[in-house]
Amino acid sequence: MCGIVGYIGSKRAYDILIQGLHRLEYRGYDSSGVAMISESGELNIYKSKGKVEALEHFAQNKDLSGAIGIAHTRWATHGEPNDINAHPHYSQSGRIALVHNGTIENYTVLKEALTQHGYSFVSQTDTEVAVQLIEYIMLTNNCSLFDAVAEATKRIVGAYAIAVVDRQNPNQIIAARQSSPLVIGVGEGEYFLASDATPIIEYTNKVVYLNDGEIAVINRGEELKVYDAKSAECSKIEITELQMSIEQLEKGGYPHFMLKEIFEQPRTLADCISGRISADGKSVVLSGVIEHKERFLNAGRIIIVACGTSWHAALIGKHLFEDYCRIPVVVEYASEFRYSNPVVGKNDILIALSQSGETADTLAALELAKAKGAFVFGICNVIGSSIPRATDSGCYIHVGPEIGVASTKAFTGQVTVLAMMSLLIGQMKGTVDQQTLATVASDIRRVPALIDDILGMHEQIEDLAKIFTYAHNFLYLGRGYNYPSALEGALKLKEISYIHAEGYPAAEMKHGTIALIDNDMPSVVIAIKDNVYDKTVNNIQQVKARGGKVVAIVTEGDTIVRDMADYVIEVPEISECLTPLLTAIPLQLLAYYIAVNKGRNVDQPRNLAKSVTVE
Ligand code: M6R
């Protein structure tokens, strides 16, 4: 959560910072702010509750000069979202300003100590403690900003990416990271700083990913220097070339990123598959798996840790690995796993599944499993993010930047990678026969075109959404491979429309939830032709018998459910294990159109952020 941006060079920093904040707004939008050292040497901070637009409005007619600055967009953790708690924060003397992404766990202890030294605090944030601590160290030790930040990082416990400027040195930004991401863009005589690469790409494609425990010294016109915070030794700087384009970060004519991302899926999945399934469909190539073949052949168990939508994809992964690789799989919420006392063996493989690659709980869960000797494998979207950097091996889903807070194309990318992985491991183990492999692999290649066909029905789904916009509760039912799809459909609706929805295994409903069903409670039932189709048909009848309305997602040509359900959406036939890739599309569209009808902020729903880097 929270996004930070920084700039030092010869251009007006404000413009670059604001543009960067817009790019990072998906990480939190409770408030935003900028700090710039002006041409006359003032350290000006402007901040405002709400979105970046509010900040721009507030900053009009202010002194926006200066070619150095830092900025922040906030997802509130400590203290309510208001102007005072917004970042950047000043030090007591007003000399230093700081932005922070993360949480400082020992902030109350530090605050007490600083209070005894005469410091007072204006905000309720943990962040203000960091800036006061840095100033306190600087003044009492009479040291440089770099030394003060290095010393402060030794005293701070928690997660942080920080950027700090000192009014008395308008040629320097100091940045540090521990568990929260930080990327430095290297331009011609200028540097950029951001929580991810999206604010940087329009200026340079050369970036340096800061590692945990490192401090960067960014001096105007000088070579970038990175140090290990503990040893103060200079780190080797590795410049990475970004493979991202600005077009991927724009709405491209769509009213919302979410809709764009839903419609992008035929292409993003084609990219995800590209080069990974041989032309004859007889083999799958995922180098991250092949290079560790022995690990997968000897795996006693696979543990998949994830959160939210990624957790739903993980549940589908469990079916895939168990069906095709005959390896037992457990799927854990990362937040639960990290604080449990799990039995993890050396032959276990832990898969961390995460779009952003930055989810704090998932990262901590993988570190725990790693410490216990498991082989850790990442499946992520954001290249160079923290999870891929912490794992032994992995596989990117390659679906491009996902900006809408509700995950859509990442979900289908994750399921596609899990499907390819299960085929590859199954082939290596001999647990999947060549015929099955060829059928499923060629079906994976058909998915982009089939999704394109389903997207062609968007108007039908838009009409359906009108009928259900004012429902207060929804039930989503599915079985087998599509039970996780039901969970995902319910989550999509909840998070962007704020309608209560519950995902349920269709047959479990009769053990309690069925009591909720009446004329006002629509059920969305995924009733495709799978091995439990007949059972799902029974479940639909049970709903209908209680007066419930049923929207059914069925296999093309189905007549049985069509006669029974109130509304039907057809998806093409495909290998059962891939059906969640198709059923996801109408569920995403239904949630989207209902949310739009309700006038919700689809891309930035209330209380949420795209990247959950706090607990
Ligand atoms: O980046 P991650 O995949 O680790 O994120 C996990 C969840 O925070 C994320 O899927 C969240 O549930 C989305 N808002 C769902 O649409």
Residue type, 370: K
Q: What spacing in Å lies between the alpha carbon of 310 and ligand 1's midpoint?
A: 6
Half-sphere exposure of 103 (CA within 13 A, CB side): 13
What is the best residue among 604, 612, 614 to mutate for testing ligand 1's pocket, by most ligand atoms within 8 Å of CB? 612
pLDDT at 159: 87
Kindly give the number of the ligand 1 atom that is closest to the alpha carbon of 611: 1
Q: What are the residue numbers of the active site?
A: 2, 610
Half-sphere exposure of 360 (CA within 13 A, CB side): 18
- State pTM to two decimals: 0.82
Q: In what order do the strands lie in the sheet with 550-555?
A: 500-505, 473-478, 523-527, 550-555, 567-571
pLDDT at 116: 96
If you ran DSSP here, which 8-state letter would residue 381 be given?
A: S
User: Is 130 in contact with 8 (CB distance < 8 Å)?
Assistant: no
Gyration radius of the chain's alpha carbons? 25
Q: How far apart are CA 478 and CA 393, in angstroms?
A: 33
Kindly give the number of the ligand 1 atom that is closest to the alpha carbon of 356: 1
Residue whose entry in the numeric block shows the structure tokens 């599944």: 353
pLDDT at 92: 95
Helices (H), 533-602: 533-545, 560-564, 579-597
Q: What spacing in Å lies between the alpha carbon of 309 and ligand 1's midpoint?
A: 5
Helix axes 434-455, 265-273, angle to 10 degrees: 160
Q: What spacing in Å lies between the alpha carbon of 180 and ligand 1's midpoint?
A: 16
Task: Give backbone dihedrals phi and psi of 290, rounded to 5 degrees, phi first.
Answer: -60, -40
Closest by Cα among 230, 221, 220, 226 to 207: 226
User: Is 262 in contact with 409 (CB distance < 8 Å)?
Assistant: yes
Q: In what order do the strands lie in the sheet with 206-209?
A: 43-49, 31-37, 68-74, 3-8, 191-194, 183-186, 206-209, 240-241
**3-class DSSP state of 126:** coil
User: Is 73 in contact with 8 (CB distance < 8 Å)?
Assistant: no
Kindly give the number of the ligand 1 atom that is closest to the alpha carbon of 492: 16
**9 Cβ contact partners less than 8 Å away, ≥ 6 residues apart:** 67, 187, 189, 190, 191, 220
CA-nearest residue, atom 11 of ligand 1: 308
Residue type, 614: V
Which two tokens mark 35? 């700090």
Query: Cis omega (within 30 of 0) on the bond before 88?
Result: yes
Pick out the chain residues at pLDDT < 50: none
Please classify residue 54 by burial: count the beta carbons closer than 10 Å to its beta carbon, then call 0-12 exposed, 13-18 middle and 19+ buried.
middle
Q: How far apart are CA 131 and CA 540, in angstroms?
A: 59
Please write the tens of the pLDDT for every residue from 534-591.
Answer: 999 999 999 999 899 999 999 999 999 999 999 999 999 999 999 999 999 999 999 9
Task: Give backbone dihedrals phi and psi of 223, rounded to 5 degrees, phi first.
Answer: -65, 145
What is the best residue among 180, 337, 359, 417 to mutate for testing ligand 1's pocket, by most ligand atoms within 8 Å of CB? 359
Q: What spacing in Å lies between the alpha carbon of 614 and ligand 1's midpoint?
A: 13
- Residue list, ligand 1 pocket, CB within 6 Å: 307-310, 354-356, 359, 362, 405-407, 491, 495, 608, 612
Residue type, 585: I
User: Is 190 in contact with 230 (CB distance < 8 Å)?
Assistant: no
State whether the Cα torsion 519-524-529-534 is positive or negative.
negative
Pairing mode of beta strands 301-306, 348-354: parallel
Q: What spacing in Å lies between the alpha carbon of 308 and ligand 1's midpoint?
A: 5
pLDDT at 253: 84
Closest by Cα among 294, 194, 267, 179 to 229: 179
CA distances from 61 to 46, 56, 130 (A): 12, 10, 30
State whether the Cα torsion 542-545-547-551 is positive or negative.
positive
Q: How far apart are CA 51 and CA 75, in angstroms?
A: 11
Helices (H), 142-247: 145-155
**371 Cβ contact partners less than 8 Å away, ≥ 6 residues apart:** none
If you ran DSSP here, which 8-state letter would residue 211 be given?
A: P
